[in-house]
């Protein structure tokens, strides 16, 4: 049975970190906005008696990743044990892609913006795959943009490594990862791309993963039914075919996919920047207002 979640109150101190507010709760613990003399960060906590310990894995993966690349990953500032919980302090990010899609005109991002964000989201997976891990929970809620205070509203971060698993080619791990592969992460990325570009996946509200799997199979025969007029149909269909052709051990051809996304931008005469939530994007100024001047922009110091 799950242990009771750690609850921290505003003003409470965890080592040098002061709790400001709770940002959310995951299956394993909670995330808080905290600050110290140097700025604001995100603090994730997990009870030491939680049956499933995911924080260690998250710390390990983020540490490995930031040794090689920092383009799409939170940096770890601190970690440790405090009372009855383990904690990690990392870069505080801004709005999730899920929120940004909802705030967009018509409930989606403009084409250039969604394709640019999509490239960054796949780069994050490429880096993760390169250190031998699968994410296994690729969705708009697990990506976020950086914060305006850090001049990072053009940067996309990948979050939440709780479902991550090491990918190796041996049979034991093959069983352990339930046969999931880099290809599956890429396929989930493609479905996310459809959502960012205005499509609504038929399995969006279905929680039963087996049923979702069956529906995905059904749509395999006619993937065009997933694409709305706002999607770059040809390129996405080509990418889906590329992913379909991958075998268990194959590394996805990331560069080819980036090329196709760039072709989609050219064919549709759209540019990546500015992103929809950037200042000066007149049509979005009201919808995205709180991203640029909302609570996360008010520094405490």
As measured in angstroms, the least distance from the Cβ of 151 to ligand ATP is 16
* H or E, element range at 19: strand 17-25
Residue placing its CB nearer to ligand ATP in the complex, 229 or 295: 295
Residue placing its CB nearer to ligand ATP in the complex, 128 or 226: 128
Annotated binding site for ATP: 44
Q: Which one is catalytic: 36, 78, 127, 137?
A: 137
Which residues make up the interface to ligand ATP (CB under 6 A)?
Answer: 23-24, 26-27, 31, 42, 74, 90-93, 96, 141, 159-160, 162
Catalytic annotation present for 137: yes
Residues whose CB is less than 8 angstroms from the CB of residue 87 and which lie 6 or more positions away in sequence, other chains included = 14, 43, 44, 45, 46, 55, 78, 79, 80, 81
**What tokens does 128 get?**
């993760």
Burial class (CB in 10 A: 0-12, 13-18, 19+), 71: middle
Residue placing its CB nearer to ligand ATP in the complex, 27 or 83: 27
Give which of 192, 187, 115, 117 is closest to 157, Cα–Cα.
117
Report in angstroms the alpha-carbon separations of 22 from 7, 18, 19: 9, 12, 8
**What tokens does 13 get?**
């101190």
Q: Which residue has the tokens 């505080």?
A: 92
* H or E, element range at 213: helix 209-220
CB-based contacts of 293-300 (< 8 A; 24+ apart in sequence): 296/92, 296/94, 296/147, 296/148, 296/149, 297/147, 297/148, 297/149, 299/39, 299/40, 299/149, 300/20, 300/35, 300/40
* Catalytic residue numbers, as ranges: 137
């Amino acid at each position: 049975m799950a242990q009771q979640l750690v609850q921290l109150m505003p003003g409470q101190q965890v080592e040098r970190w002061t709790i400001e507010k709770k940002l959310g709760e995951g299956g394993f613990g909670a995330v808080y906005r905290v600050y110290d003399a140097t700025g604001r960060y995100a603090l994730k906590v997990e009870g030491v008696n939680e049956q499933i310990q995911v924080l260690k894995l998250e710390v390990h993966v983020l540490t490995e990743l930031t040794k090689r690349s920092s383009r799409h990953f939170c940096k770890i500032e601190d970690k440790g044990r405090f009372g009855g919980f383990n904690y990690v302090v990392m870069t505080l990010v801004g709005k999730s892609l899920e929120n940004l899609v909802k705030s967009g005109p018509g409930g989606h991002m403009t084409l250039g913006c969604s394709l640019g964000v999509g490239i960054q989201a796949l780069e994050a997976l490429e880096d993760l795959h390169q250190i031998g891990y699968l994410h296994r929970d690729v969705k708009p809620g697990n990506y976020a943009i950086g914060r305006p205070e850090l001049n990072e509203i053009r940067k996309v971060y990948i979050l939440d490594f709780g479902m991550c698993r090491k990918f190796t080619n041996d049979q034991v791990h093959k069983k352990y990862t339930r046969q999931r592969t880099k290809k599956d992460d890429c396929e989930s990325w493609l479905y996310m791309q459809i959502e960012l570009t205005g499509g609504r996946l038929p399995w969006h509200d279905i929680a039963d993963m087996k049923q979702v799997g069956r529906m995905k199979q059904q749509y395999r025969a006619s993937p065009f039914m997933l694409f709305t007029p706002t999607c770059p149909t040809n390129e996405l269909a080509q990418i889906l075919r590329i992913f379909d052709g991958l075998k268990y051990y194959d590394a996805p051809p990331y560069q080819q996919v980036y090329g196709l996304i760039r072709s989609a931008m050219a064919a549709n005469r759209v540019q990546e920047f500015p992103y929809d939530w950037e200042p000066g994007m007149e049509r979005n100024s009201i919808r995205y207002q709180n991203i640029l001047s909302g609570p996360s922009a008010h520094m405490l110091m």
